[in-house]
Amino acid sequence: KAGVTQTPRYLIKTRGQQVTLSCSPISGHRSVSWYQQTPGQGLQFLFEYFSETQRNKGNFPGRFSGRQFSNSRSEMNVSTLELGDSALYLCASTIVGSIGEKLFFGSGTQLSVL
């Protein structure tokens, strides 16, 4: 069974640009959540999607958005990039997104904003 796949693995962008990251969950998993990891900060929750609907949202500005497609694949978009957006972005999937389920993480996308 294939794991959670994130693309691309690395991205370099400049301030003001926008970026789209992709996450394909494990087959059969319908919930996808996104996290940001920056140096000195723990993993911070961005948002969670289930059946194409955003169910939960973390404390991030509106420049961070996402969506989920009918095949459960999810994309995350960051507009008007800032230097502070440089981070490792992880997505994780679960079957139905209940809190009792273990998260299965992808390898992440390392975003560098210059």
Where along the sequence are the contacts to another protein (CB under 8 A)?
3-4, 31, 33, 35, 41-45, 48, 50, 55-56, 58-59, 90, 92, 94, 97-108
Q: Which is nearer to another protein, 41 or 70 (CB)?
A: 41
Which parts of 1-114 are beta strand (E)?
A: 5-7, 10-13, 19-24, 31-37, 44-50, 53-57, 64-68, 74-78, 87-94, 104-105, 109-113
Q: Which of 77, 92, 76 is nearest to 25 (CA)?
A: 92
Least distance in angstroms from the C-beta of 15 to another protein: 27
Cis peptide before 8 (omega within 30 of 0): yes
CB 106 within 8 A of CB 32: no
Give the residue with the Cβ less far from another protein, 36 or 81: 36
CB of 71 to another protein, least distance (A): 19
Residue carrying structure tokens 């095949």: 71
The smaller minimum CB distance to another protein, of residues 56 and 112, is found at: 56
Residue 17 Cβ, how far from another protein at the closest point, in Å? Answer: 27
Whole-number minimum distance, CB 45 to another protein, in Å? 6
